[in-house]
Amino acid sequence: MDKFMDNKWFIRIVALFLALLLYISVSIESNDKAKDTKQKNENDVVQNMPVDIIYDQQNYVVSGAPETVDVTIDGPKGLVRSTRNLKNFTVYIDLSDAEIGKQRVKIKYKDLSDKLTAKISPAYATVTVQEKVTKEFRVDAEFNSNLLASGFEAETPSVDPKTVKITGAKDVIDQITYVKATIDSKREISTTITRDAKVQVLDKSLNKLDVDVDPETVEVTVPVKNPSKTVPITVNPIGDEKDGIVINSITTVPKHVKIYGRSDVLKSIDALSVDVDISKYDKDTELDVPIKVPKGINKLEPEIVKVRLNISEKTEEKTFSNIKVSSTGLADDYTMEFLSPLDGAVDLTINGTTKLLKNISASSFDILMDLSGLSPGVHEVNLEVDGPKDITWELSKKKAKIRLTEKDSGDI
């Protein structure tokens, strides 16, 4: 055995065997480590990663750069997950040395662990670097008149401050067409309102422009009023008068009403009427009548008026012709002769209610003249009428001209 072990080939064979054994052991260990490492690595996407832009913000404006990008990161599983959750690295575009104009720039990242690799999507962006410009613009207030309560109207709104400073790229500033401050309300508006409103900067197509506004909000005041007008009240009679009566007058208290509403509505109204059914009344009456509110009018003062009806019985006029005149007080020894009227008859015109005159005829009246104490000769004698009460009359002649003569002694 000692000779065998002293043999140099034996030693060489043993050394070779040990070398092979060591090589196999190291190879297996390396493969296991590589396999283990491969199994622990993964990739994931950090979505909506904000992009920082590095540039001279005092003098320039940058447009066209994406606000966010997606970043695919690759590396150890635990590190990938913590980076995705914490987003503890920075994505940026460096324009610190960029010139004015449009250019294509690479989107970069920093502060990412050395054990991770990253791929940004998109990798490049086309940006425009422009000179920053500041101009002053007047702010126009905007107000939706549909928010006004019925009958109310708004006067010209006022803005405080009246102007704002707008800063942005020169070509964007040149596109500004409208600078507005719009106020809104959740309720109907019936009084003057003052609200803070955000300033909106728009181009001619009403597209919002990307600019800075100072101040961003202004105070808008909208004066709201309720115009009024005073108009007369008229009465609209409905129906027909009752038989035998006449309505002499219909008046209202008050005679005018104050109406409130929009100016265009007020302009079209010259009077308001109330309806009264005259077929219901046969004597003097006073009643309360509501006034109908016209469309576009939101208030009346007063809302109810007193209507007074002055009513009387209907009257008629009749004329009776050739009623003989009678005399009283004629002495027995005198004779009387009519000189005027020659036939001793006059016409009688009477006036009275229809009811009273219904059964009146010429026989209801006596036309009398009193001859008591008159001496022979020609005389004018007053004519008197004896007839029903509550009737007025008028004679065609108020006096009669007569001649009195003595009778012959043979006639007595």
At residue 4 the predicted structure's pLDDT band, cuts being 50, 70 and 90, is low
Look up residue 287 and give its amino acid.
L
| Averaged pLDDT for residues 382-398 | 92
Which has the minimum average pLDDT: 4-13, 15-24, 401-410?
4-13
Please state, for a pLDDT cut of 90, what percent of the chain lies above it. 58
Mean pLDDT estimate for the chain: 88
Per-residue pLDDT, 346: 95
Residues linked to residue 368 through DSSP beta bridges, in sequence order: 326, 384
The pLDDT tens digits for 236-274 are 999 988 888 888 899 999 999 999 988 889 999 999 999
Q: Would you give the distance in Å from CA 101 to the centre of its chain?
A: 51
* pLDDT of 359 over the 60 cut: yes
* pLDDT of 358 over the 80 cut: yes
* pLDDT of 3 over the 60 cut: no
Per-residue pLDDT, 282: 87
Residue carrying the six token digits 């002053």 = 136
Per-residue pLDDT, 26: 64
123 against 23, higher pLDDT: 123
* pLDDT of 171 over the 80 cut: yes
Per-residue pLDDT, 44: 93
Per-residue pLDDT, 39: 47
| Averaged pLDDT for residues 20-32 | 66
Per-residue pLDDT, 411: 55
Which has the minimum average pLDDT: 169-178, 194-203, 402-411?
402-411
Please state, for a pLDDT cut of 70, what percent of the chain lies above it. 92
The pLDDT tens digits for 58-85 are 888 888 899 999 999 999 999 999 999 9
Phi, psi of 192 (to 5 degrees): -60, 135
Per-residue pLDDT, 36: 47
Per-residue pLDDT, 186: 76
At residue 31 the predicted structure's pLDDT band, cuts being 50, 70 and 90, is low
Q: Is 276 left (phi over 0), alpha (psi -120 to 50) or beta?
A: beta
The pLDDT tens digits for 318-340 are 999 999 999 999 988 899 999 99
Q: Tell me which residue of 34, 62, 204, 39 sits closest to 130, measured CA to CA.
A: 62
At residue 219 the predicted structure's pLDDT band, cuts being 50, 70 and 90, is very high
Tell me the two tokens of residue 206: 């009403």
Per-residue pLDDT, 146: 81
Per-residue pLDDT, 201: 94
